[in-house]
Structure 1
Amino acid sequence: MLKLSGKIIRIHAVDVYKDRTLIKVSTKRNLPDVLRRDLAYLVSDHQIPSGFAHYLLTEQHQERIEELPAGSDYSILPNDYSYIGDNDVIRLSADRQSIRVLFRASSQNNSILLTEQCNNYCLMCSQPPKTADDSWLLDEIESLIPLIPKETRELAFTGGEPTTNEERFLKIIRLTKSYLPRTAIHILSNGRSFKDPKFAEKYAAVELSDAMIGIPVYSDDPTLHDYIVQAQGAFDETIQGILNLKRLGQKVEVRVVIHKLSVQRLPELCEFIARNLLFVDQVALMGLEMMGFTRANLEELWIDPIDYKDTLSTSVGILAKYGMNVAVYNHQLCLVNPDIVPYYRKSISDWKNEFAPECQNCKKQRECGGFFASGVKFGYSKQLSPF
């Protein structure tokens, strides 16, 4: 698991870094001077070039402070951040003596948090909603997007509910299209905002070249879905949102997190999706992340994947029979039946992906998606059977 944020050892910087400042990292020593003055140079074993706006040193290179150009701004980072590389984007704060890694150019798992506010209150939410005004995140994202390399293949927008501030959401989507026209965009939303045809039309009018909205549906029974998301009427609004988006030709992925409540009617849900939402672009059946509200509601939610593996096979089989595009996320290979393998995906973001001690000598570790780091820490199936 990678550490994305925390305290740093020291920061020596001018006033611009006092609150929050975004800066792109460079490891290139021979950049033109006009480009250097907006970048942070990551010090390595090579000769240190002059002219950069900031210099980053990890603990292993901190003795090189004396070699920095006179009067330079610099930060000393714990070795936890030694993974930082060229074209990454970070946030520095002198007041807080802190760093946050916002974008990693070498990763295919970059997610951008638009807000922590949400109109659902899901029992298993890994990012529990907050009510505080966090519109500063949207301001920051508007500064971040122009810094992201144009060759970036994929980018995700998440929350909270990303569409909470509808106009700012649309502005960010338009900005992304302008600066990252070839980047695939994945938006994780509860879909309820798109029940409004006018908002759905505004989103579609942006005409992103490659975008998909991942929307959760947890049961074919509206009452059960609404209970899981802790919002009365959410099922009807979510389904209406999906229908509006597909009417406008937008890509939609239906996402189902599997736990003790949702697995009760998982085959029935898959039959409902196949009969009523056959036109969605993908259905993802997902394992539970042991974070946030999940840990508080563990007794109500946790079920060992080994106990529902046959139900999972039945459910995937229903969707496949109808010719739907199916993916199984966040599971371990030894805990699913062989018929799941064609639909199996290594889906856990690299920065929070780990393996249990039992997996150390498994012959299929490279093919397996492993665990969320929280799963290894707080609990996982005791019936792992390494290959």
Structure 2
Amino acid sequence: MLKLGGKIIRIHAVDVDKTITLAKVSTSRNLPEVLRREMAYLVSDNQIPQGFAHYLLVEKHRYLVDALPLDSDFSILPDDYSYIGDGDVVRLSADRQSIRVLFRASSPHNSILVTEQCNHYCLMCSQPPKAADDSWILDEIENLIPLIPKDTHELVFTGGEPTTNRERFLKIIRLTKSYLPRTAIHILSNGRSFKDPVFAEQYAQIELPDAMIGIPVYSDDPTLHDYIVQARGAFDETIQGILNLKRLGQKVEIRVVIHKLSVKRLPELCEFIARNLLFVDHVALMGLEMMGFTRANLDELWIDPFEYKDTLSKSVCILAKYGMNISVYNHQLCLVNSDINPYYRKSISDWKNEYATECEACTRKSDCGGFFSSGIKHGYSKSLIPFVDLR
């Protein structure tokens, strides 16, 4: 698991009032001077160019501090951050002596947290909501987007509920379209804001060239869905939001996290989706992440994927029969039936992806999505059956 943020060894700032630096990382010595003034140079040897706004050194290169240009701002990072590379974007906080890696150019799994506020309180939420005003995050995103490389393939906006501040959300989406017109946008929302036809229309009018809104539906039974998300009336508002978005020609994905509560009626949910929401663009059936509220509600949520693999196959078969676009995320290959293979995806973000010790000898490890690192720490199926070469 990659470390994306935390304390660092030292940040030195010439301007003591400059407490936070948002900087794009460069490894190029030949960058034009006008661009250097806004960027952080990643030092790897003693050939250090002049004129960069900041200099980054990992601990193994800290001996090069004396070779830095005079009166330079610099940071010394633990070797945990040796993965930082050209095009990455970092936030450096001088008063807290900390770093946060906001964007990694080499990764296909970049997510931008829009807010930690949410009108759901999902039993299995991996990012538990907070009530505090965090509008500073929106300010930071507006500064971040222009720094993201133009060739970025995909970007995910997540929360909390990203549409909590509707006006700022729309502003950020417009900004993304302007600076990253060829980047696919994936927005993870509970969909309830889009029940408002005016807001749905405002979003549609942005005319993003490639965007999908991922919306969770956990049961065909409104009472069960509302219980899982801990919000009365959420099911009806979510379905209305989906209908409004599709009426306006927007791409929608339905996301179903599978756990002990949702798996009870998973086939019925898939039948409901196929009969009533056949027009959605994608259905994602997802394994449970052992983070946040999941740990607190583990007795109510945890079920071994081995126990529901036949239910998963039945559910996928229902959706496939109707010709729907399906993906199975966050599962291990040895814990699903072979009929799932056409829909199986390696989906766990690279920075939090690990494998169990039982997987070391598996001949299909490279095809398998593995585990969330939190799953390795806090428990996983005891029914793992590594694939072996019988030749």
Which TM-score applies when normalising by structure 1?
A: 0.99
**2: CA distance, partners of 1:19 / 1:66:** 23
Note if contact 1:219-1:266 (Cα within 8 Å) is conserved in structure 2.
yes
User: Deviations 1:304-342 (Å, cap 9, x if unpaired)?
Assistant: 000000000000000000000000000000000000000
**Residue 368 (str. 1) matches residue 368 (str. 2):** yes
**Paired position in structure 2 for 1:193:** 193
1:17 is displaced (CA, Å) by: 6.9
Q: Which amino acid aligns with 1:292?
A: G
Letter in 2 for 1:127: Q
Q: Distance in 1 between matches of 2:68 and 2:18?
A: 21
**Map of 1:325 onto structure 2:** 325
Aligned residue number for residue 179 of structure 1: 179
**Contact conserved, 2:14 with 2:71, CA < 8 A, in 1?**
no
Aligned twin of 1:311: 311
Deviation at 1:19, TM superposition (A): 3.2
For residues 14 and 108 of structure 1, the distance between their equivalents in structure 2, rounded to whole angstroms, comes to 35
Q: Could you tell me which residue of structure 1 aligns to residue 64 of structure 2?
A: 64
Matches within 5 A, 1:1-387: 1-15=1-15, 18-45=18-45, 47-387=47-387
| Conserved 8 A contact 1:17-1:93 | no
What is the aligned length?
Answer: 387
Q: Distance in 1 between matches of 2:17 and 2:6?
A: 16
Identity over the aligned pairs, expressed in percent? 82
Between the aligned partners of 1:243 and 1:95, the Cα distance in structure 2 is: 47
Distance 2:18 2:50 in 1: 23
Query: Secondary structure, in 3 states, of the residue corresponding to 1:193?
Result: helix
Coordinate RMSD, CA, aligned: 0.8
Distance between the aligned counterparts of 1:18 and 1:159, measured in 2?
A: 28
1:150 partner amino acid: K
Instruction: Measure the CA separation in 2 of the matches of 1:59 and 1:357.
Output: 30
Counterpart of 1:69, as a letter, is P
Q: Which structure 1 residue ranges, 4+ long, deviate > 4 Å from structure 2?
A: none
Post-superposition CA distance 1:124-181 (Å, at most 9, x none): 0000000000000000000000000111000000000000000000000000000000
- The TM-score, its normalising length taken from structure 2, stands at 0.98
3-state SS of 1:182 partner: coil
Q: Residue by residue, what CA displacement relative to the aligned partner does 1:23-52 show, whole Å, maximum 9, x if unpaired? A: 000000111111111110000135111111
Q: Report the residue type matching 1:104 in the other structure.
A: R
The superposition leaves residues 336-374 of structure 1 with CA deviations (integer Å, 9 ceiling, x where unpaired) of: 000000000001010101111111111111110000000
Shift of the alpha carbon at 1:22?
0.5
- Once residues 14 and 279 of structure 1 are traced to their aligned partners in structure 2, the CA distance between those partners, rounded to angstroms, is 57
User: What is the CA–CA distance in structure 2 between the aligned matches of 1:109 and 1:213, rounded to whole Å?
Assistant: 16
Distance 1:16-1:201 versus aligned 2 partners, 3 A rule: farther
For 1:116, give the aligned amino acid.
E
Residues 96-148 of structure 1 show CA distances to partners (whole Å, capped at 9, x for unaligned) of 00000000000000000000000000000000000000000000000000000
Following superposition, the deviation at residue 18 of structure 1 comes to 4.1
Q: Report if the CA contact (8 A) 1:212-1:253 is conserved.
A: yes
8 Å contact from structure 1 (residues 109, 350) kept in 2: yes
Structure 2 unaligned runs (5+)? none
**Residue deviations 1:164-213 (CA, integer Å, cap 9, x gap):** 00000000000000000000000000000000000000000000000000
Structure 1: runs of 5 or more not aligned:
none
Q: Would the aligned equivalents of 1:17 and 1:94 in 2 still touch at CA under 8 Å?
A: no
Deviates further, 27-36 or 305-314: 27-36
| Native 8 Å contact 1:17 1:92 kept in 2 | no
Shift of 1:15: 3.3
Conservation of the 8 A alpha-carbon contact between 2:39 and 2:52: yes
